Amino acid sequence: MRPPRLGWRFWRRFSQVVFLLAFLWLFRETELRDEDVPGYVNIAFRLDPLVAASAMLAAKALIAGLLLCLITVGVTLLFGRAFCGWVCPAGTLLDLVGKVMRIRSRRCNRTFNSLKPVRYWLLIAVLLGAAFGFPLVGYLDPFSILNQGLTLAVDPALSWSSFVLFDWLYQNGSEGVTNISEPIYAFLGEHVLAFERASYTGAWLMAGIVAAILLLERVQRRFWCRYLCPLGAMLGFIARLTPFGRRPAKACAGCLTCEHTCRMDAFDESHRLQPQACTVCMDCVTDCPNQIAQFLWFLPRKGRPPARAAQPVPMELSRRAFLGACAVGVGLPAVSTAGRAAGVIPSNVRLLRPPGALEGDEFLDLCVRCGECLKVCLTNGLQPVMLQAGPNGLFSPQLVPRTGYCEYNCLQCIEVCPTGAIRPLDLAAKQKFVIGEAVFDEDLCLPFAEREECIVCEEHCPIPTKAIRLKEVEVETADGQTRVIQEPFVDLDLCNGCGICENKCPLDGAPGIYVRPVAEEPSI
Amino acid sequence: MARRMRTNRRQFLEQVAAWSAGVAASAPVFRIAHAEEDAADTARSLIAVAKGKDYEGLVAKVLEPLGGIGKFVKKGDKVIVKPNMAWDRRPEQAANTHPDVVKALVKLVLDAGAKEVQVVDRTCADRRRSYRNSGIPKAIESIGDKRVTCPYFDERKVVPVKIEKGKVIQEWELYRDAVEADCYINVPIAKNHAIARLTLGLKNIMGVMGGDRGKIHRQLAESLADLNSVIVSKFTLIDATRILLRRGPQGGNLDDVKVLDTLIASTDMVAADAYATTLFDLKPEEIRSTVAGYEMGLGEINLDKVKIVNV
């Protein structure tokens, strides 16, 4: 292939920036504004073959919505790991961070050569773990990490810091200042900032994880992609089949510029470029001192032997490492099951899950921790679980009613879930889906504890025929008088556990009514 | 769609010099005196009632006996139209003011030469969902006039207001544009409410309250009268095109809705509320906020002393 005008590097960077902006734009679209949340906001996860493979292995079923990832597989079959070099927003961010930090690493490109198989171990552990009930994809998929990082940490930090700044200017600035600052804030609010300022459990932990991955760039270029990324490993495995490759396949003896500058350290011991590592960034084509390197398809032609068949691509994975990774993939679920049986790891923890969520472990198996439901929840009520549900429940969503409730007419978390961990209920079914059940704390609730009238929970109960109703009761006041007040009660046949009662309860601190998980299987 | 607020602070700054000094410690306080001025208004004791299916046409009709919109809105006025759009409910569920009524009213206000019209409410349910489901922003947008906006309530844009006549509230943070407006028009829907029994004109003021407004539920009636003594509606237009008989204020069950095709307008909010109460087969004296408003001197509760014009 001949270089296009402006050169390969320009177009690769252009593509990276476009896809990064697209990712950020999709993120921004993942909330209700003037228009409904579009159905395509979760497309990054549906294009991700690692998410698809993990979810389908866990579900032991075909998930139609995830078949979109065949596009990525197809692109990889045609162009190798170009996805990693030209598309992946995490890769782009790493490149950007590397640029900003101006790394002039004197470290040899090969220092961490022994880490190369790690990504395959992780890939195997992810896939086997998914099949045997301990999915790791949510903790290792680059899209999951990136999207959760944006949702839990970056976006709230941006919203709150802008709010503090612009509100301070608004409260204290002169008219001249606010005439400038307020339009800026309005513009940011319209185009950059989240609609509502949210905050999340685990934000600092997630910020730390993302920061750590970005800072690894200081150690070596594309450290994450070279050694750790299981999605990259998966695409690399597919890339071994592509007829697309570089000519000359080997770095020229006596020069080796391409080998020494390769961001992926994609050349093996015999100086041959490895398609399972190469992200087709084209730097070696652009920077070739002799301008002889180029990428092209090795199509079988008469009189020429098929190039790949003659040169089988070796895996960078020893048999021992492969077996070890398999052992981890199978062992983790086994250890987890044993731990649960022994009571060391929490088991059968019932939490308030999003409406339509699958039951217990089934939900955790399919939840890829993409963070989409946390992001889209209208009320900020969906929050990441930390370790309450055991190690495989980390960062899965739960409803925390005191923070935010499940809006009666809203279907958004259902609509953005890429894997079906939250089942695609329609509005009528969602409104009947039981998240939990509301119970009064009669030691706190005003009509019970203080014999004072308060109907806020009844007022807000969205069930058309009211799951919280009032009955008149005669009460004795402290001074011995009797009077009639309205006392609320919950009709559990109607209550869906949306949590608005707990959310709106006017008591400071602990609420007078709260939602608890139901003991038995909820029905749809 | 631009729903963000555009605020002209000039007037406000002229009124409160301390504000521009940027001293947060000396919180500015408003004193509003036009309650007395309006008390002398002869149109007070008049209630106009109109019935009909064409809600848009009905609005102009019901305002005629009061002297038409021109009597309230002058050229260049900044106007607040305060409907109820606090709940994530559709128009037919009778939890929010009917969008056709609001639209017709806004059109009249614009035709009267208003410089800026703001249709605003502090919602109870999610503001995005409530605004959309109410149908009001869409109806306002369909007018296609840039002078009218339908911004979300901005909780920063409130000012503490002293309530000199207040019996239970002496000061509260209120929506600044509502405090500053040349003309404040109250467009509530008539509906059932668990504590207040009915929510009508007086209670609609809660949509321009800042702060933790849930707290006033303990002495709701008196609080509402107090608040209406400082933000005075030029007139109240009660939407009883359909009313919510039970399970208010949120409703949601169409069995609880009764279609009446009625609008009630008056410069006397208490009288308007009193009349609307009769639509629910209740007596005006049974609604505590109406009584409190009467006792505050905001209007007449006795319908025998009020002129009722059916149009």
* Cβ contact A470:B260 at 8 Å: no
**Residue entry with tokens 């395509």:** A40
How do B46-51 and B257-266 pair as beta strands? antiparallel
Fold of A434-524: Alpha-Beta Plaits (3.30.70)
For residue A477, the distance in angstroms to the closest alpha carbon of chain B comes to: 16
* Segment B215-239, tens digit of pLDDT: 888 788 999 999 999 999 999 999 9
| B contact test, residue of A408, A427, A501 with most B CBs within 10 A | A408
| CA distance linking residue B7 with residue B10, whole number of Å | 9
Cβ of A11: how many Cβ atoms within 10 Å? 15
* Cβ contact B262:B240 at 8 Å: yes
- Nearest CB among A175, A190, A409 relative to B129 is that of A409
Chain A contact set for B125 (CB, 8 A):
407, 462
| CA distance linking residue A379 with residue A408, whole number of Å | 11
| CA distance linking residue A392 with residue A336, whole number of Å | 8
Tokens of A317: 């994975």
* Cβ contact B239:B188 at 8 Å: yes
Closest-CA residue of chain A to B86 = A460
In 3D, which of B168, B186, B198 has the Cα closest to residue B234? Answer: B186
pLDDT grade for A467, boundaries at 50, 70 and 90 = very high
Q: What average pLDDT does the segment A94-106 reach?
A: 79
* CA A366 to each of CA A24, A37, A49, A229, A381: distance values in angstroms, whole numbers, following the listed order: 24, 22, 14, 20, 21
Chain A contact set for B193 (CB, 8 A):
459
pLDDT at A156: 97
Between chains, do B215 and A506 touch, taking CB under 8 Å as contact?
Answer: yes
For chain B, state the CA radius of gyration: 18
**Percentage above 70 pLDDT, chain A:** 94
One-letter amino acid identity for A138?
G
The rounded Cα A383 to chain-centroid distance in angstroms is 13
Cβ of A269: how many Cβ atoms within 10 Å? 7
Between chains, do B217 and A378 touch, taking CB under 8 Å as contact?
Answer: no
pLDDT at B26: 45
* Cβ contact A8:A286 at 8 Å: yes
| CA distance linking residue A69 with residue B302, whole number of Å | 72
Between chains, do B214 and A409 touch, taking CB under 8 Å as contact?
Answer: no
List residues in chain B touching A: CB distance below 8 A: 1, 3-5, 7, 9-10, 13, 20, 22, 24, 88, 124-126, 128-129, 133, 156, 193-195, 214-215, 217-218, 247, 249-253
Between chains, do B4 and A410 touch, taking CB under 8 Å as contact?
Answer: no
- Along the 311 residues of chain B, how does pLDDT read in single tens digits? 444 444 444 444 444 444 444 444 444 455 554 544 444 445 447 999 999 999 999 999 999 999 999 999 999 999 999 999 999 999 999 999 999 999 999 999 999 999 999 999 999 989 999 999 999 999 999 999 999 999 999 988 999 999 999 999 999 999 999 999 999 999 999 999 877 889 999 999 999 999 988 888 878 899 999 999 999 999 999 999 999 999 889 988 999 999 999 999 999 999 999 999 999 999 999 999 999 999 999 999 999 999 999 98
The stretches of A133-199 forming alpha helices (DSSP H) are: 137-140, 142-148, 155-172, 175-191
Between chains, do B10 and A175 touch, taking CB under 8 Å as contact?
Answer: yes
Q: What are phi and psi of A324, to 5 degrees?
A: -60, -45
Q: Is the peptide bond before A248 cis (omega within 30 degrees of 0)?
A: yes
pLDDT at A51: 97
The stretches of A82-150 forming alpha helices (DSSP H) are: 82, 89-100, 118-132, 137-140, 142-148
How do A294-297 and A244-247 pair as beta strands? antiparallel
* Cβ contact B145:B178 at 8 Å: no
Between chains, do B250 and A460 touch, taking CB under 8 Å as contact?
Answer: yes
Cβ of A465: how many Cβ atoms within 10 Å? 14
Does the pLDDT of residue A302 top 70, yes or no? no
Chain B CB within 8 Å of residue A163 CB? no
For chain A, state the CA radius of gyration: 28
- Give Dmax (Cα) for chain A: 108
B28-310 homologous superfamily: LarA, N-terminal domain (3.40.50.11440)
How many angstroms separate the first and last alpha carbons of chain A?
56
Q: Is the peptide bond before B249 cis (omega within 30 degrees of 0)?
A: yes
For residue A100, the distance in angstroms to the closest alpha carbon of chain B comes to: 36
For residue A186, the distance in angstroms to the closest alpha carbon of chain B comes to: 7
pLDDT at A105: 58
- Give Dmax (Cα) for chain B: 56
In 3D, which of A230, A226, A207 has the Cα closest to residue A216? Answer: A226
| CA distance linking residue A380 with residue A370, whole number of Å | 16
Cβ of A43: how many Cβ atoms within 10 Å? 15
Between chains, do A452 and B218 touch, taking CB under 8 Å as contact?
Answer: yes
| CA distance linking residue A210 with residue A152, whole number of Å | 11
- Nearest CB among A408, A455, A486 relative to B88 is that of A408
Does the pLDDT of residue A338 top 60, yes or no? yes
| CA distance linking residue A491 with residue B181, whole number of Å | 45
Chain B CB within 8 Å of residue A508 CB? no
pLDDT at A218: 87
For residue B36, the distance in angstroms to the closest alpha carbon of chain A comes to: 32
Residue with the bigger pLDDT between A105 and A236: it is A236
| CA distance linking residue A72 with residue A81, whole number of Å | 10
- Nearest CB among B20, B126, B218 relative to A379 is that of B126
Between chains, do A464 and B247 touch, taking CB under 8 Å as contact?
Answer: yes
Domain boundaries, chain A: 7-132+218-310, 434-524
The stretches of chain B forming alpha helices (DSSP H) are: 10-15, 17-20, 34-39, 55-63, 99-111, 127-134, 136-141, 176-180, 220-228, 269-278, 288-296
Helices and strands counted in chain B (H then E) = 11, 12
Between chains, do A407 and B22 touch, taking CB under 8 Å as contact?
Answer: no
* CA A54 to each of CA A61, A324, A514, A521: distance values in angstroms, whole numbers, following the listed order: 11, 19, 36, 26
* Segment A162-212, tens digit of pLDDT: 999 999 999 888 889 999 999 999 999 989 999 999 999 999 999 999 999
One-letter amino acid identity for A334?
A
B109: helix, strand or coil: helix
* Segment A203-261, tens digit of pLDDT: 999 999 999 999 999 888 999 999 999 999 999 999 989 989 898 889 998 899 999 88
For residue B193, the distance in angstroms to the closest alpha carbon of chain A comes to: 8
Top-confidence range, A106-120, A218-232, A340-354: A218-232
Cβ of A2: how many Cβ atoms within 10 Å? 5
Cβ of B153: how many Cβ atoms within 10 Å? 21
* Segment A411-452, tens digit of pLDDT: 999 999 999 999 999 999 999 999 999 999 999 999 999 888
Mean pLDDT in chain A?
Answer: 90
